[in-house]
Each structure stands twice: as C-alpha cells, then as structure tokens.
Structure 1
Amino acid sequence: MAKIHPQAFLSSASSSSFSNYIAPTKEIFTIWMKSLISNSKGCTVFDSNGKIIYRIDNYEQKYSDEVYLMDLRGDVLFTILRKKLRLFGRWEGYKSNGSKMEQEKPWFKVRKPCRILKGDPPCQVTVGWNKDRPDCYRIEGLAGKSACKIVDKAGRLVAEVKQKHSSSGVVLGDDVLSLVVEPNTDHSLIMGLVVVHGLINHTL
C-alpha cells in the first residue's frame, strides 16, 4: 500500500512550530479523512514536508453543528458553527485562541443556496467584518463529494481539493485528498472553508 505521506509522522515539536499561515509560493497539503483519535470522526492535515498542521476530532459524532479546527497540539484555531435555517444552510467561522473564540462576530460566513434550485450552485463565502468591502469567494463542488475548488469574486482559482495520487501515480483512496493553495493565501482560512464543504457533503 502506498503511504499517505512519505514523512507522515515527524516529531510533534517540529510540527507545532509552524505558525505562519500565508506563504509567497503555492503550497500543497495532504488531507487524510481520519482522526488522530481512535474511533473518532474527523481529519488530519499534513504539509508538504509531512508535518501535521491541522486536525479535526469530532469523536463519535459526524456532521456536527459545532466543529473545531485545531493545530497538532489541540489548540483551537477556528470554531465553525452551523446556523439552522429552513431553506438555506449557513455556517460561520470564528477565530479562536486556544479554546475560546476571540470575538463575537464571525470571521467568515458560508451560505449554501436553496435546495430547490436546479443543479449544484456554488456556496457563497464572505470574509471579514467590513460590510461595504468584504472579501468574497465561491466554493464549487467537483466530481466526488470531497473534491472542490475555491475561487475569488473575479473567478480566479484560490485553492483546489482533489483525490491524491502518489509520486508513482497510485491512487491513495477516497479518504486521502490533496489540497493546493495558491500563493499569498491564508491556508488556515482555506482549511476552514474545506471543513464547511465537508460538513455540507457529510464527509466530516
């Protein structure tokens, strides 16, 4: 069997030292749709060097209304809440510091269009608190429940999730994904949006 990542389990000390979520170059992450905790639902995210950057552990509950995006040590980076509405699905992401949310207003909002619309319309994303000049993105589903791409309001690709292949071309399975993030993009935010996409499609 091909390995999920060739250096998947490096020391926690080197993994936890990662603190910069924006890079000037394109970054590639591996998303393993498995929790680090036995019998738990969630996922584990590795960077291109095999260091664990993010984790989600929902324990025995899948498709939860409250999900925490954490670093390797378990410190919460984002708290993601699902708001229950009749016709529209909406998720809000709050920046966190350790285990508590830093502010009352959400850092990002994801709105899923009404189910009665034809086809699979993209989810609408707004980021920031400035109502007059918010950053706007779209999450567009691709083939398969987990695959998607994130584009900005001009239609430029910001990030893409797809099934991962090994360097020799071997498909690693439906539960191993590749996340490519374009330069100068906050990949903690992108990972938060990928988590929402997973919740919408019941893969988390």
Structure 2
Amino acid sequence: MTKVHPNAAAAAKAAAAAPVVGEEKREAVSLTVWRRSLLFNGKGFTVFDCKGNLVYRVESYTGGSPREIVLMDADGHGLVTIRRKKLSLADEWLIYDGDAAASPMTATPPKRFTARRHVSLRSTRSLAHLSPVRPLVCGDAGAAPSCRYDVEGSYVGRSLDVFASTGSGGEQRRRVAAVRPKEAAVGPDVFRLVVEPGFDPALAMAVVILLEQMHAS
C-alpha cells in the first residue's frame, strides 16, 4: 500500500514549508489526503506533502456532519474554520480565517467566503460555489477583485476541479486546484489534492472539507 503516514521528525517544519516552497518555484503543490483522523476513534482528514510529512489535519469526535470544523496545521493551530449556517433556506456554509471557536466573541476571525451546494434539476458537473464576503484577489497580486470559486466534477469519484472566476459574468476563469484519485489502488479514502501556484493550499483543503460535509449532510 502507498505510504500515507507522516515523517514525524519533520512534521512541524513541513506544515509551513511545503506550500511556500511550491509557490516560490511557481510549481503546483501536490498533497496526499487521507480521509482519516490520527486520533483513535476520531473522524477527519490527515494531509501529507510529497515527502510524507504531515501538513494539515482535521479531527472530530462527533458523528454525522458536525456544524463546525477547523482545518489545522501539523502543530494543531487553526488555519480555517468551516461553519454550517443556521436557519438557512439553502445548504450554506461560512468560511473563516483561523479557529473561530477559539477566538473571543469580540475578536471573531473575519469571514472569507460563503459557500453553497449547487442545486439543479438537470444533470450538471457543478457541485458548489464560493463567494467572497469581502473584496479579495484571485491568487496572484494584481488580479481582479471579487473572485469567486466554482467546484465541478465528482467528489465521490475523487475527480473534480476548482475554478477561479472574475468579472460580473465570470468571463475570466482558470483552474486553481484539482482532486484526483491516487495512482496506486488504495481506495477512495486516499486521494491527491493538486494546488496551482498562487492559490492557498489551506483554502483548497477547505473546499475538500466542504464537499465532504455536503455529501454527509
């Protein structure tokens, strides 16, 4: 079976180094996502870089689809919070910077995106849409503001793409991340997350968590 366990000695260093190195070289970052928590009887994800070092982790003790999930680095520091919105007529989630639950009420991390499951009576490749809560740029500096992200493909089949779109009609569109099956036959619980230069790997992993919640709900 393909190795999915981390190199513990380098885990702390890899949490910050792996994505940065890929961006400096202007190369795509390839991560291995393991749909399993490192905690006993826990649920979540464990994410490794191409050298087998731990980069991200998600841990949850609750069953079903929890309302709030935190993406952590190798040291357990919260990077992104995904929170399901209450009293919403549609399936909607909010994405925050950092660990929203650990922050005082007076210093709640800013919301970055609202996310919605794509709903259609017709067969479509669209899965979800992420819209910015505040102005931001699409990856590279100097890009147009108000970037939104569209997810297309099949999460169950572990084959999907994340596209960044700018402009009122989404006329400028480019792929920023992709999920693909692992080359070796290791089953659907281990797959690849490929992140293009200029796109935040933590946000790409947040999209994976969102899709897991959408399919579990």
Whether TM exceeds 0.5 here: the answer is yes
Confirm whether residue 182 of structure 1 aligns to residue 160 of structure 2: no
Larger mean Cα displacement after TM superposition, 149-158 or 191-200: 149-158
Confirm whether residue 159 of structure 1 aligns to residue 138 of structure 2: no
1:63 and 1:52, CA in 2 relative to 1: closer, same or farther beyond 3 A?
A: same
CA contact (8 A) 1:4 1:172 kept: no
Show the 5 A alignment for 1:24-173. Answer: 24-85=26-87, 87-96=89-98, 99-100=102-103, 103-114=108-119, 117-120=121-124, 121-127=126-132, 129-130=134-135, 133-142=145-154, 144=156, 146-153=158-165, 154-165=172-183, 170-173=184-187
In structure 1, the partner of 2:2 is 3
RMSD, matched Cα: 2.6
TM-score normalised over the length of structure 2: 0.78
CA contact (8 A) 1:41 1:59 kept: yes
The one-letter amino acid of 1:149's match is: D
Residue segments in structure 2 that go unaligned for 5+ positions in a row: 137-143, 166-171
Paired with 2:54 and 2:42, the residues of 1 have a C-alpha distance of 17
Larger mean Cα displacement after TM superposition, 178-187 or 138-147: 138-147
Shift of 1:10: 1.2
CA contact (8 A) 1:81 1:92 kept: yes
1:133 and 1:184, CA in 2 relative to 1: closer, same or farther beyond 3 A?
A: closer
The one-letter amino acid of 1:9's match is: P
In structure 2, the partner of 1:19 is 16
Larger mean Cα displacement after TM superposition, 104-113 or 35-44: 104-113
Q: Deviations over 1:83-124 (max 9, x none)?
A: 14554211111111694386453112212234x532243311
Shift of 1:140: 1.2
1:188 and 1:104, CA in 2 relative to 1: closer, same or farther beyond 3 A?
A: closer
Paired with 2:216 and 2:91, the residues of 1 have a C-alpha distance of 13
CA contact (8 A) 2:97 2:110 kept: no
CA contact (8 A) 1:36 1:44 kept: yes
Paired with 1:146 and 1:77, the residues of 2 have a C-alpha distance of 24
TM-score normalised over the length of structure 1: 0.83
CA contact (8 A) 1:55 1:70 kept: yes
The one-letter amino acid of 2:212's match is: G
Structure 1 or 2: more helix by fraction: 2
User: What is the percent sequence identity of the aligned residues?
Assistant: 27
Q: Say which SS state the counterpart of residue 2 (structure 2) adopts.
A: coil
CA contact (8 A) 2:16 2:55 kept: no
The one-letter amino acid of 1:152's match is: A
Structure scoring higher RCO (CA < 8 A, sep ≥ 6) equals 1
The one-letter amino acid of 2:73's match is: D
* Residue-pair matches, total: 194
CA contact (8 A) 1:70 1:78 kept: yes
